[in-house]
Amino acid sequence: MRSFFIAIILLFSGISISAQTNSIDDSLNIRKIYDMSLLNGKSYAWLDHLSNEIGGRLSGSHGAEQAVEYTKAELENLGLDKVWLQPVMVPKWTRGEREFAYVQTAPGETRNLNITALGGSIATSAGGTKAKVIEVQGIEQLKEYGRENIEGKIVFYNRPMRADHIQTFEAYGGCVDQRYSGAEEAAKYGAVGVIVRSMNLRMDDLPHTGAMSYGDLPNDQRIPAAAVSTNDAQYLSGMLKIQNDLDLYFKMSCEIHEDVQSYNVIGEITGSKYPNEIMIVGGHLDSWDLGDGSHDDGAGVVQSMEVLRLLKETGYEPKRSIRVVLFMNEENGLRGGNKYAEVAKLKSEDHVFALESDAGGFTPRGFGITANDTQFKKILSWKRLFKPYLIHYFERGGGGADINPLKGGNMVLAGLRPDSQRYFDYHHAANDTFDKVNKRELELGAATMTSLIYLVDKYGLDNINNETVEMPD
């Protein structure tokens, strides 16, 4: 009996020693990943080229085509097992000449407004659109005013992002419907145009563009739609309180073209033990055309590329196949994400994990994670490994627009969560440029993503009792 208890003690001691050894090895490997990213990273140089040599990368544009060629070549230079282009048809929309707008404050007196066309909008007539303007606080208020007060007018949507939300994406989600569907809904009440307050938490003179949709509206019922800067939205609202019959004029020459072919860019390290289990990390290669798309989403693109480079440079050999996917057309169609999921389904590919970076290149805080209870518990068991890097946010609910079409079964989705307080200062605006990205913050994000990919690959997420890391107190 005594020998039996000794055997049990030795067995559990072995498990404890093994778990502690694993945790020490993982700590050292993660330290190596962060050192490599901060001391010898490539993400910032890649972003420099995307932003300053190529610039804006709106789907269907020459810039998008250049970005496909550049990132494919750079992935090939990394010596990955496979690099390929996945064809996808994408919408093409061009802005045309710079937009112009003014509000008439008195006979012969006007004040110019800073506006930008919303992506997908039709143009105004060649001579522009001029009409009385009516302010509403959201789509739901259109019904309150009714056709008799809206017909023949320009609807001015002026619901601001709520500054009391700590999570700024919640503030964005609370008012982005007026940008996306505002024109469709206002047209049903006879409006002749739409002006939308920019999705921006600070007061400035920069209008922020973004996708909009006409839904099922016939072409002859569609109306032009533009965003106005927060400063000018505030001015216009103030003037309407004094004089509610103001005339507003705006002119845009944007155009919707036939769809064109583009590509998702994909690179892979083939798994050594479970090659048919696929993990992906990615961001979207396209951007809006006002700035150079450094935060949205050049940062996510280069961080995702860096994940595979760091794994190779540190000598780690993945058990599972790890892909970087640079999606095309997230901004105004999600064609790339949908195409990738469609092809994966047709090929019966087994995707087990996907991580997306599409929230800017700011200081990483952690991850939003969509997983079942067992999977989430396992990820939480690694939390202490991230503590030295000030990564603390591990919350349920996460992923990204491009990886969400893969959702289903036991698939785990995750999204990098950087500090979001400055993100909407630049989002979809002309100041989303390379100089707004901090090199160190970008590199910390790449290392944080790589560390999670490393842990998920090493331990898997299918069984909480299978190789879970036990961290010593």
User: Which amino acid is present at 467?
Assistant: E
**Which of 124, 121, 115, 123 has its CA nearest to residue 156?**
115
Residue 463 has a pLDDT of 54
Q: Are strands 129-136 and 247-251 parallel, antiparallel or unpaired?
A: antiparallel
Helix intervals (H) in 116-229: 140-145, 147-150, 168-173, 176-180, 182-187
Active-site position among 185, 268, 330, 356:
330
Taking CA 52 as the corner, what is the angle to CA 46 and CA 53, rounded to the nearest 5 degrees? 80
User: Which amino acid is present at 389?
Assistant: Y
171-197 pLDDT, tens digit per residue, is 999 999 999 999 999 999 999 999 999
Residues 221, 381: Cα–Cα separation, whole Å = 55
Which residue reads 């307050």 in tokens? 197
Please return the burial class of 51, using the count of CB atoms within 10 Å of its CB with bins 0-12, 13-18 and 19+. buried
**Mean pLDDT in residue range 381-387:** 97
330 is annotated as an active-site residue: yes
CB 293 within 8 A of CB 210: no
47-103 pLDDT, tens digit per residue, is 999 999 999 999 999 999 999 999 999 999 999 999 999 999 999 999 999 999 999
- The model's confidence at residue 23, banded by pLDDT at 50, 70 and 90, is confident
* In 170-253, beta strands by DSSP E: 193-197, 225-228, 247-251
Residue 9 has a pLDDT of 40
Residues 96, 101: Cα–Cα separation, whole Å = 15
List Cβ neighbours of 471 (8 Å cut-off, separation of 6 or more).
23, 381, 384, 385
**Mean pLDDT in residue range 310-328:** 98
- Cα separations in angstroms, 204 against 66, 373, 420, 429, 432: 32, 44, 18, 11, 14
Cross-strand pairs, 132: 247
Residue 299 has a pLDDT of 98
- Global confidence as pTM: 0.93
**Which of 283, 282, 306 has its CA nearest to residue 41?**
306
> What is the arrangement of strands in the sheet containing 193-197, beginning at the earlier edge strand?
109-112, 100-106, 247-251, 129-136, 154-157, 193-197, 225-228, 115-117
Residues 67, 52: Cα–Cα separation, whole Å = 12
